[in-house]
Every structure is written in C-alpha cells, then in structure tokens.
Amino acid sequence: MTSPPPPAMPTTNALEVRALTRTYGEGAGAVAALAGVDLAFPRGTFTAVMGPSGSGKSTFLTLAAGLEPPTSGRVLIDGEDVTEWDEEARTRLRRERVGFVFQAFHLMPYLTAAENVELPVRLAGRRRDKARVADLLKHVGLADRAGNLPAALSGGQQQRVAIARALVTDPAVILADEPTGALDSRTAGSVLALLRACVDALGQTVVMVTHDPVAAAFADTVVFLVDGRLAGRMDRPTAAAVAGQVARLDELVPHAAVTV
C-alpha cells in the first residue's frame, strides 16, 4: 500500500516561480535569458528585482505576467499553476489577476484618466464601477483630474493613473517594470511611496523590476539576478547597501570586462 499523495499545501504566495527557465534561439546559438530561478513572493510584500542589463529581469517579468510561456519551470499565481494556460486564458489572467505598471506609463492617449482606470474592467466585459474608479483616483491623489486626457497630465500624474489602473481589478500581484525610469527623482519618490502605500494600506503585493538602488530601498526585500540566475537577496534594504551589492554583481558578470 502506498500512501495517497499529500494534499497540495495551501500557499500564501501571491506569485511563485519554480525552476523558471527561458531560452531564446536554438542549438548552438541558444541564449538562456533565465536559467532555473526559484522565487516566492508572499502576499502583502514589496519586492524589488535587480540586476545588470541582460540579467533576465525583464524576461522574468514577461514570464510572470504570462506574456510568454517559459521554456521550462512553473509560474503560480495565488497558488494556481498558470504555466500551461493557453493565450486566451493568459489574457484573462493579465486583466484580472495581474496589475501592470510600465516605465512608459502605457495609458491610452484618447481616454481620460478615469476611462483609463476602468479600461481593464471594460475589456473583461464587466459593468464598470464608477465609485471604485473615483475611489482609486482619490487614493492616488488625482480625484480632481478624472476627466483629463493623459496629454494634459505630468509624467508623475500619468504613472499614478497607471497605478490606479493596476489596482482596479484588485489583482493578486502588481508587476512594475522600471516604474520610475521615466521620472525625475522627486516625482519618482512620490510614485514609489504610492506603491509602498498600496502594500501597507491595501495589502497588495508588488514585484518591481528596477536598476535604481534608491527605488529598491522602498521594497521589503531585494532579490538580485545575474546571468539569468539568482545571485542573492537582501531584506530591509538601504540605497547604500543595494548600490554596493550592485557594484559587486557588476564585477561578477564576465562579459562586463572592458576590452580595449
């Protein structure tokens, strides 16, 4: 008699990846952008993913969001394995369980702030909730800008609209790709404080890819990627400690050696 397999452990991880691998190209020219990464992001935490260019940060985000399937490994969102889902299911996943914040804001230029926020709900074919949209805009400090088109908003304001949009479906996890890359340092600080508040006040989970040690210092934890592999983690990071670690990691990268 063999004992029945143990029931799947209930997980509190909003996002989890196991042995995540993504290879681009085939044969001898194949490049592993991500080579077996294990990471778990518990609910209600703020994690920064850092690494030099080519370390696999963006690939990680692409796979976690279900934009592409991994070459091997698993992606779990809210404990549910979404790796094998087809394109349509992954589209639903993106608009219902994942919130996005991009470096370039990615607002639709012909929709007002409020209409941009409600767009994921619209795309899902659900009835829009005017009160919730108004609430979220108030939460990001733009209650009086609901009727403005993106062209009439500053960069920081546009990114706040994008954060409200990411929150509108109450997703399992918010994925942020260099959310402050296009902002000046003061505006960047207020946008990062807003992401921090999403975690502290709303209990959201935020995973942010960044190369900026100051941005990373807003997170609870920083994980470092080098050459598609995990290269360490740091809890309660400070900008100085992160900057030092990044400098050391840069030395680890073999192809970073300068040849003249």
Q: What are phi and psi of 208, to 5 degrees?
A: -125, 125
78: left (phi over 0), alpha (psi -120 to 50) or beta: left
| Candidate segments 103-111, 183-191, 213-221, 225-233, binder of other proteins by CB under 8 A | 103-111
State in angstroms the smallest separation of the CB of 246 from other proteins: 20
Contacts for 6-10: CB closer than 8 Å, 24+ residues apart: 8/79, 10/79
What residues numbered 113-152 form the site for other proteins, per CB under 8 A?
A: 115, 119-120, 122-125, 149-151
**227 makes contact with other proteins (CB under 8 A):** no
| Candidate segments 1-9, 36-44, 112-120, 190-198, binder of other proteins by CB under 8 A | 112-120
Q: Which of 100, 114, 146, 237 binds other proteins (CB under 8 A)?
A: 100
Residue type at 127 in one-letter notation: R
A 10 A CB-CB count for 63 gives: 24
**32 makes contact with other proteins (CB under 8 A):** no
> How would DSSP label each residue in 202-241?
H---EEEE-S-HHHHTTSSEEEEEETTEEEEEEES--HHH
The answer to whether the CB of 101 falls within 8 A of the CB of 176 is yes
Q: Which of 48, 94, 217, 228 binds other proteins (CB under 8 A)?
A: 94
Q: Which of 111, 214, 239, 253 binds other proteins (CB under 8 A)?
A: 111
Tokens of 94: 């993106």
Q: Which spans of this chain sit near other proteins (rule: CB under 8 A)?
A: 24, 33, 58-59, 61-62, 65, 67-68, 87-88, 91-92, 94-96, 100, 102, 106, 108-111, 115, 119-120, 122-125, 149-151, 165, 175, 177
